[in-house]
Every structure is written in C-alpha cells, then in structure tokens.
Structure 1
Amino acid sequence: MKRVLLFLPLVLFLAMGFFLYRGLYLNPQEMPSALEGKPVPSFKLLTVKDQNRVVTNADLKGQVYLLNVWGTWCAGCKIEHPYLLDIAKSGLPIYGINFKDELNAAQQWLEDYEDPYQFTVYDSDGRLALDLGVYGAPETFVVDDKGIIRLRFAGILDPTAWNTKIKPLIESIKAGE
C-alpha cells in the first residue's frame, strides 16, 4: 500500500499534464456561447462619452448589428480597432461594451483612435460582459434585428474572420428579413 501511495503524485502529475497539453490545442474562437439563439441580456448602463445618457438593450433592437467588447488595456483590441473603423464606414452599426476599464482611459481612447461605435456602454464592473459569457476582450457578437444573438466571435476581428464567418451570417440574416 505504501508503494502505491508513492506513485500517486506521479499519476496525478501525468493526468494534469495530459489535460494541460490538450488545452493548448483548443481554439477559443470555437468555444460555444450559451446565448446564441437567445436575446441580448437586459442591461441599463451609462455611455462612455456621455455619463448622463442611459441606454438599455431595448435601444438596440430593430437592426442587425455588432456588439463589440473592448478595453483600453486589451492589446488585441488595439489591433482590431482599425478594422472596426472600416466595418463602421460600411454602414453596419457597431455598439461597444467598454469592459472593466477606467472611464477617462476609455474616453481618451475613443478620442485618440477614432470611434467606430454608435455608442459605447461603460461596463465598469463587467456585469454585462459576464451576462454575455465573455471570456475576455476582444469579443464580438452578431445580433439580429429582433435582438437575438446569432454568433459569438472570440478574438481579434480581422478580414479572414469577417469574410468567412461574420459577413456571410449578416448577409443571410438580412436576406431572411
């Protein structure tokens, strides 16, 4: 029995190593969202640019749009930002969720790097992001005109993701309208 107990740490180490090794090959962009097919969670938040303006999820219905989770602390968000500007210029509405950030930093970011968003809500405690099932920034959600989440995309939105996943989905949603 004592010999078995001597090998127990080795067995536990090998089992843990197996799961960690397997985790290296998981793609976070392919992680399912429990909210796909469900409405955007209810929220009532202030906007980054105007702390007197309160918006809710009801303000977003009636059009297909992107909901983008970002933060000034997020390196990937800085990489994705110019592409969001291009998408916004195409006419597709984008709404931002500033996730666990400093208000002044978020305001300065939008001033310095240009603002692709119709508006950005200030999610200082991360409650809305948590309700959306966000793992980290950046994450982008495709939402239909009824307020139903159709896709969650985790990671940097780039031309490949846009052309292979997001744009075709948006086109099919609009074709069904």
Structure 2
Amino acid sequence: MAKISPLMAAPLVIVAGFTVLAFVGLQRENPNDLPSAMEGRAAPAVEVIPLGEKTPLRDSDLRSGDVKLVNFWASWCAPCRVEHPNLETLSDQGITIYGVNYKDKPGNALKFLNDLGDPYTAIGADEAGRMALNWGVYGVPETYVIDGNGRVVLRFAGPITERAMENQILPAIEKAR
C-alpha cells in the first residue's frame, strides 16, 4: 500500500475542516443573529456628509419621537439591490427610513437610487466608514430599528427579505411603538 505524504493530505484536511465549519454554521437558528451590543442603547451619533442634493440625515432625526429605520447600504452591494424593493414597500407603508451610504462613490449611489427608487426620508454618505464602525456594522446591508427616544430596538444584518420583514422588522417596529 502506498504511503500518503503529509503534503498530499493537507488539502484534504483543510477541505474537511471547512466542511465541518460550514455545517456547524448552517445549524445556527438564524445566521443573521450576530451579537449586537447596541440593542437597548442610544443610537450612536450620525456622522455623515451630504449625498448630492438629497435631504441630509442629521443626528436629531434619530431622536425625533417616531419609530424609524436606519439602513446602511452601498451601490456595489448585490444584497442591497435584493432588499431594495422591500425598503420601498416599508416606506410606502409610512415607515421612516434613513439611509447611510457606506464607502461608496457618490455618483454610483445616486444612480442606484435613480434607477431603483429612493425609499429614504433623509440620507448621508459614510465615505470612510466611521459611522458604520461606531454602530458596529459588520457589512452592508444592515438595518437598525430605532424607537422614538433614539434607542436601538433591533439590529438586522443582511438583506431585508419579505420573510424578515414579517418575522423580525415589523414586530420590532410594533415593539418600538
């Protein structure tokens, strides 16, 4: 019987390790349930610059007495395109959504909104990603439900699907009211 050298076995061991990690990761009840230290705390300060001629997002908007969403997104983000129709649906239902354009080129971001629609009440650009860092954003898209006192009720990582809207976003909005 031929011996297998350690050099030949290494790729098999690596593939087996990744397979086990993937299997364990898929067994989680909800892969979007990443830990968030923000829930129950005051929303961090808004630190954005204007995006074109859009209504600028201000820190006072988050503490204005009504429930709202803060959505971090980018034009280069494929899942952001997937969730966009659902953001439009929420906006059409009268839910205030503030947009934070993350590490994007202004022209690309404005084209994205022009092509797909603009569900945002106000918006700002986070070109350096500082605001996202302060909010604990893992990656875009990421959405926060903020109550009328400016406290984070829910952090939702990933694209808002119809299922996520029904099972997580809308219940969190009701809880925040």
The normalised TM-score by structure 1 is: 0.82
Shift of 1:24: 5.0
Q: Distance in 2 between matches of 1:54 and 1:73?
A: 21
Q: Say if 1:39 and 1:147, in contact at 8 Å, map to a contact too.
A: yes
Shift of 1:103: 0.8
Unmatched 5+ residue regions in structure 2? Answer: 1-5
Is 1:63 aligned with 2:66?
yes
Shift of 1:60: 2.3
Aligned to 2:24: 22
SS at the partner of 2:48? strand
Q: How high is the sequence identity, in percent, across the aligned residues?
A: 39
Aligned to 1:143: 146
SS at the partner of 1:45? coil
Offset from partner CA, 1:20-70 (integer Å, 9 cap, x none): 65345444411121110111111332221338x754322222210011111
Offset from partner CA, 1:90-125 (integer Å, 9 cap, x none): 101000110111111001111111100012110011
Runs of 4+ in 1 over 6 A off after TM superposition: none
SS at the partner of 1:117? coil
What pairs with 1:104-119 in structure 2 (closer than 5 Å)? Answer: 104-119=107-122
Q: Distance in 1 between matches of 2:94 and 2:114?
A: 20
Q: Distance in 2 between matches of 1:139 and 1:71?
A: 10
Q: Say if 1:44 and 1:54, in contact at 8 Å, map to a contact too.
A: no
Query: Structure 1 residues 168 and 54, CA, compared in 2 at 3 Å: closer, same or farther?
Result: closer
Unmatched 5+ residue regions in structure 1? Answer: 1-5
| 2:124 corresponds to which of 121, 124, 134 | 121
Aligned to 2:77: 74
SS at the partner of 1:152? strand
Shift of 1:156: 1.3
Q: Distance in 2 between matches of 1:68 and 1:54?
A: 14
Aligned to 2:176: 173
Aligned to 2:3: none
Query: Structure 1 residues 28 and 107, CA, compared in 2 at 3 Å: closer, same or farther?
Result: same
Paired residue total:
165
SS at the partner of 1:29? coil
Query: Structure 1 residues 134 and 95, CA, compared in 2 at 3 Å: closer, same or farther?
Result: same
Q: Say if 2:57 and 2:124, in contact at 8 Å, map to a contact too.
A: yes
